[in-house]
Amino acid sequence: MSLSAAVRGRTAATFGPPSALPRLCAAVVVAGVAVSAWAPYDRMTWLLEVVWVLIGLPLAVWTWRRFPLTGLLCCLLAVHALVLALGGHYTYARVPLGEWVQGQLGLARNPYDRFGHLMQGFVPAILVRELLSRTSPLRGSRWLAPLTVCACLAFSALFEMFEWAAAVVGGHAADDFLATQGDVWDTQWDMFCALIGATVALLLLSRWHDRQLARLAG
């Protein structure tokens, strides 16, 4: 039996409760989102930023027994959730850590938004890779990496359209969510950062990810 078939066969079975690592990741995410919800700069901006976490975490818990995730992916998703929560609390243009980096490097803008979009490619790359490896014949295929990057770019483009819709509906009230900081090329930079993030994730983590997928297959 091939490894991909073994993974699909096992994910069709019933799994026991999650190990300590996924539980810890979930607890950290819940705590981080709760703290970020305390007196954010703008409540609507906070909601727009963390809505992915509010949807994704319950979905992961609900599907865990039939489709548990690798430990690597759990950790990456938790880190990404904290990045979103921090950006939602302060707005991306006002995150203190980004302001410190801006001052240290003499940048024209707060770079936290760029970092957020790097993560928007880096973490979904491993998520998409895991889904494709476990639910399709693409595991081990030369098409796995390019299709993963394409999926990440598609998500980045979808997110930019989501931001555009928020700007149309909210007008100037959406400025904090867009975090363009006066850059007319902000949309293109955001998608480019997602492309770089996805590519780097595949180059750095693919072998580690494969070992975890093999372990999950038993």
Q: Confidence class of residue 185 from pLDDT cuts 50, 70 and 90?
A: confident
Confidence grade of residue 10 (pLDDT, cut at 50, 70, 90): very low
- The label of the residue with tokens 């880096």 reads 122
Rounded percentage of the chain residues whose pLDDT exceeds 70 = 85
Give the global pTM.
0.85
Instruction: Compute CA distances 23 → 32, 35, 84, 151, whole Å.
Output: 14, 18, 20, 28
The predicted-structure confidence for 64-98, as pLDDT tens digits, reads as follows 999 999 999 999 999 999 999 999 999 988 999 99
Give me the residue label for tokens 């996805």. Answer: 198
Q: What pLDDT does residue 139 have?
A: 87
Q: How far is residue 208's CA from residue 171's CA, in Å, rounded to a whole number?
A: 44
pLDDT digits (tens, 9 = 90+) for 107-136: 888 999 999 999 999 999 999 999 999 999
pLDDT at 169 over 90: no
Q: What is the pLDDT of residue 201?
A: 98
User: Would you give the end-to-end CA distance of the chain in angstroms?
Assistant: 12
> Looking at residue 125, what is its pLDDT?
98
Give the span between the Cα atoms of 213 and 218, in whole angstroms.
Answer: 9
What span, in angstroms and rounded, lies between the C-alpha atoms of 108 and 101?
A: 11
- Residue (of 161, 159, 188) closest to 80 by Cα position: 159
Task: Please tell me which residue, 193 or 163, carries the higher pLDDT value.
Answer: 193
Region 194-202 average pLDDT: 97
Asked whether 2 and 213 are in contact (CB, 8 A), the reply is no
81-to-103, 138, 161, 210 alpha-carbon distances in Å: 26, 28, 21, 23
